[in-house]
Chains A and B, each alone.
Chain A
Amino acid sequence: MESRITGKAYVLGNNIDTDQIIPAEHLVYSLSDEEESKKYGHFALSSVPVNEAGLPNGGIPFIEGENWQAEYRIIIGGSNFGCGSSREHAPFALQKAGVKAIVAESYARIFYRNSVDGGFLIPYESTQKLNNVIKTGDEVEIDLENNSITNLTDGKEYQLKELGEVLPIVEAGGVFNYARASGMIS
């Protein structure tokens, strides 16, 4: 696991549900076909209402034009990130688009599990509201050893909650790697 994740932040509000992350009509594409699965990156966050896309001002599309990768590596969310359906296509789509980590106040259970068990990205919980102090496009850095995020644009540092019991699964890169390493499966 890397010790730092650095990149541009994309900032969202509360209750970003899985239909906003990847609208249901796109769930028909293959996740294993390298070329076809780029569609998930292309449509990632495509149903977030325009005025809430890229806070504080909104109106910033996560994906530009026909691209399938975003210029953002870290998403800053509010509370209840990933609520709604069980679709694992949601963290998959964000990973495909280039997202390495999310920092949100809280997560819906299934999205959190999917992110961790599938090894798609790291779902960090913040210790305070961050989507009103970090702006879309700010350069930020997550320090995985010290559980903190720094806004490199203004130098301010914020504490993150420890990953706790899921840390070994995150470090292993998902539940299968974890289970193999611990001898649960061969």
Chain B
Amino acid sequence: MGMTITEKILAKAAGREKVSPGENIWMNVDVLMTHDVCGPPTIGIWKREFGESAKIWDKEKFVIFPDHYIFTQNSHANRNVEILREFAKEYQIDNYYDVGTERYKGVCHLALAEEGYNVPGRVLFGTDSHTCTSGAFGMFATGVGNTDAAFILGTGRIWEKVPESLKFTFNGTLPPYLTAKDLILQILGDITTDGATYRAMEFDGEAVFDLSMNERMTLTNMAIEAGGMNGIIKADQKTIDYVRERTQSPYEIFESDNDAEYLNKYEYDVSKLEPIVAKPHSPDNRDIVRNVAGTKLTKCYIGSCTGGKLSDFQFAAPIIFGAEVKVPTFVVPASTEVAKQLEIETYKGISLKEIFENAGCMIGQSSCAACLGGPDDTFGRAQDKDIVISTTNRNFPGRMGSKQSEVYLASPLTVAASAINGFITDPRDYI
């Protein structure tokens, strides 16, 4: 019996010839990532448990991206960034991307890609559930809590249960009115929010490999919304090109054997799919946009690790071009690199940034912002009984702020079309 790509990478990390789903293994970690919410408690546990002799196992492999609560007056949140800053100084962490400097990046999952930490074959653990995003690069990436991260920080090792794999194959050519967000919301409706718990989600098929790296990250990002341990896409030439623009680190390409075993396989013909929303209050509460078209909105939001990449704004801009948004619309480039690209990339000779500004959108600074609510003064935060349509990844009760708010998740095309009408709109009306 062959192995899946996930099993092969875990076997390598465990120093084994073969691993099988269900067995607990101890493995070596290539990269550990943390941020301002979970970094300080991780450091606290590391110091408490390793005491005076606490040593970072490998400084080159430890990366800190402050990104969650950055542009806020909240003194406790600011204290967390201060703790990271002091720690990075004391322990001389080169891979610290400080707020208020040229090095500040924004949302960690995109920053990992942009800064060249995502390399095929690697094992990445991060103190954030959306660490699975990096699986778009043919690597194993998953989220852990502070205790596990502190353990890795001191030892470079961690235990994990080898997951069973699910395979999702998207055949055909993606129509212009669909994006990777529609594909993953389709899957979530099919397998629900615990359909992949403790499992690997492997994405395959020509429609997947036609996607840009940005769009592939949208797919893997939301593996956790199905409970997935990791999402993964085999590396191809696009992956290598993206990686080589950013790092010369050696990579290793793994792929699933033909006789690898899957718990389940799902096949989709993308030409038959429609624009999708996840209705309040769960990412698996799927419907087609057409069925909820006309639903009045009070806010629109384009941002986050899953919905604030350059590709998301490239989808949204042509629809918003020349129009005016009818409800407050928040645009949050996930990273400072994306923010710069918004000024450079054009549509019909006008920069994407100007297109959004001219339409009346509010453009925020790169960070997680209102994707997870955050402190009261967070840009774009849902207030009172707001009804929001958003390119983010979660719409559980209170996720974007107010507990009374209702959040619909959708593609950047659907959010853009909805923004210029003030109610939920099928993007096919504009494409």
Q: Report chain A residues within 8 Å CB of B193.
A: 15, 80, 83
Count of chain A residues with a beta carbon within 8 Å of a chain B beta carbon: 43
- A 76-106 to B, binary, CB cutoff 8 A, 1 in contact else 0: 0001100111111100000000000000001
Query: Is there contact, CB below 8 Å, between B49 and A176?
Result: yes
In the complex, what distance in Å separates the CA atom of A28 from the CA atom of B38?
Answer: 9
Q: Is B374 an interface residue (CB 8 A)?
A: yes
- B 398-422 to A, binary, CB cutoff 8 A, 1 in contact else 0: 1101010000000000000000000
Q: Report chain B residues within 8 Å CB of A86.
A: 38, 126-129, 131, 143-145
CB distance from A154 to the nearest CB of B (A): 29
Q: Known interface pairs A109-B198, A113-B145, A118-B147. Does A47 touch B38 (Cβ–Cβ under 8 Å)?
A: no
Q: Is A108 an interface residue (CB 8 A)?
A: yes
Q: Report chain A residues within 8 Å CB of B144.
A: 86, 110, 113-114
B154 to chain A: closest residue by CB: A185
Q: Is A19 an interface residue (CB 8 A)?
A: yes
Q: Give the contacting residue for A28; candidates B76, B154, B396, B398; CB below 8 A.
A: B76
Q: Report chain A residues within 8 Å CB of B74.
A: 28
Q: Known interface pairs A80-B227, A84-B394. Does A27 touch B37 (Cβ–Cβ under 8 Å)?
A: yes
- A 97-140 to B, binary, CB cutoff 8 A, 1 in contact else 0: 00000000011111001100111000000000000000000000
CB distance from B180 to the nearest CB of A (A): 21
In the complex, what distance in Å separates the CA atom of A176 from the CA atom of B148?
Answer: 9
In the complex, what distance in Å separates the CA atom of A73 from the CA atom of B307?
Answer: 40
Query: Is there contact, CB below 8 Å, between A179 and B151?
Result: yes
Q: Report chain A residues within 8 Å CB of B37.
A: 24, 27-28, 87
Query: Is there contact, CB below 8 Å, between B372 and A85?
Result: yes
Query: Is there contact, CB below 8 Å, between B69 and A28?
Result: yes
Q: Report chain B residues within 8 Å CB of A28.
A: 37, 69, 74, 76-77, 79-80, 375
CB distance from B335 to the nearest CB of A (A): 20
Q: Is B311 an interface residue (CB 8 A)?
A: no
Q: Report chain A residues within 8 Å CB of B403.
A: 23, 47, 49
Q: Give the contacting residue for B147; candidates A15, A19, A109, A176; CB below 8 A.
A: A176
Q: Is A158 an interface residue (CB 8 A)?
A: no
Query: Is there contact, CB below 8 Å, between B372 and A80?
Result: no
Query: Is there contact, CB below 8 Å, between B38 and A88?
Result: yes
B148 to chain A: closest residue by CB: A117
Q: Give the contacting residue for A17; candidates B157, B374, B396; CB below 8 A.
A: B396
In the complex, what distance in Å separates the CA atom of A27 from the CA atom of B372?
Answer: 11
Query: Is there contact, CB below 8 Å, between B41 and A175?
Result: no
- Give the interface centre of A17, A85, A86 by most chain B CB atoms within 10 Å: A86
In the complex, what distance in Å separates the CA atom of A176 from the CA atom of B42?
Answer: 13
In the complex, what distance in Å separates the CA atom of A134 from the CA atom of B401?
Answer: 32
Query: Is there contact, CB below 8 Å, between A25 and B376?
Result: yes
B53 to chain A: closest residue by CB: A186
Which secondary structure characterizes the binding site on chain A? loop
Chain B contacts with A in 368-409, Cβ cutoff 8 A: 372-376, 394, 396-399, 401, 403
Q: What class of interface size applies to chain B in its complex with A?
A: 35 or more
Query: Is there contact, CB below 8 Å, between A19 and B127?
Result: no
Q: Is A174 an interface residue (CB 8 A)?
A: yes
Q: Give the contacting residue for B148; candidates A32, A85, A108, A175; CB below 8 A.
A: A175
In the complex, what distance in Å separates the CA atom of A175 from the CA atom of B157?
Answer: 12
Q: Report chain A residues within 8 Å CB of B79.
A: 28
Query: Is there contact, CB below 8 Å, between B38 and A87?
Result: yes
Q: Give the contacting residue for A106; candidates B44, B147, B194, B398; CB below 8 A.
A: B194
B394 to chain A: closest residue by CB: A84
Q: Report chain B residues within 8 Å CB of A25.
A: 373-376, 401
In the complex, what distance in Å separates the CA atom of A87 from the CA atom of B398?
Answer: 16
Query: Is there contact, CB below 8 Å, between B77 and A110?
Result: no
Q: Give the contacting residue for B194; candidates A31, A47, A83, A87; CB below 8 A.
A: A83
Chain A contacts with B in 1-46, Cβ cutoff 8 A: 15, 17, 19-20, 23-25, 27-32
In the complex, what distance in Å separates the CA atom of A30 from the CA atom of B146?
Answer: 13
CB distance from A168 to the nearest CB of B (A): 11
In the complex, what distance in Å separates the CA atom of A109 from the CA atom of B396?
Answer: 18
Query: Is there contact, CB below 8 Å, between A47 and B227?
Result: no
Query: Is there contact, CB below 8 Å, between B227 and A19?
Result: no
CB distance from A55 to the nearest CB of B (A): 15
- Give the interface centre of B145, B194, B397 by most chain A CB atoms within 10 Å: B145
Q: Is B325 an interface residue (CB 8 A)?
A: no
Q: Report chain B residues within 8 Å CB of A89.
A: 41
In the complex, what distance in Å separates the CA atom of A28 from the CA atom of B82?
Answer: 12
Q: Report chain B residues within 8 Å CB of A83.
A: 193-194, 227
Q: Report chain B residues within 8 Å CB of A110.
A: 129, 143-145
- B 122-159 to A, binary, CB cutoff 8 A, 1 in contact else 0: 00001111010000000000011111101100110101
CB distance from B358 to the nearest CB of A (A): 33
Q: Known interface pairs A29-B76, A32-B44, A84-B129. Does A108 touch B197 (Cβ–Cβ under 8 Å)?
A: yes
Sample 16 A-B pairs with CB under 8 A, ordered by A number.
A15-B194, A15-B282, A20-B397, A25-B401, A31-B44, A32-B44, A84-B129, A84-B394, A85-B128, A85-B129, A108-B197, A114-B146, A114-B147, A118-B147, A184-B157, A186-B53
- Residues of A near any B CB (own CB < 8 A): 15, 17, 19-20, 23-25, 27-32, 47-49, 79-80, 83-89, 106-110, 113-114, 117-119, 165, 174-176, 179, 184-186
Inter-chain pairs besides A107-B197, A185-B50, 18 sampled, C-beta below 8 Å: A28-B37, A28-B79, A47-B398, A48-B397, A83-B193, A84-B396, A86-B144, A88-B41, A88-B147, A89-B41, A108-B194, A109-B198, A110-B145, A114-B144, A165-B24, A174-B147, A175-B159, A176-B49
Nearest first, the 7 closest Cβ-Cβ pairs linking A and B are A88-B145, A28-B76, A114-B145, A80-B194, A86-B143, A118-B147, A47-B398
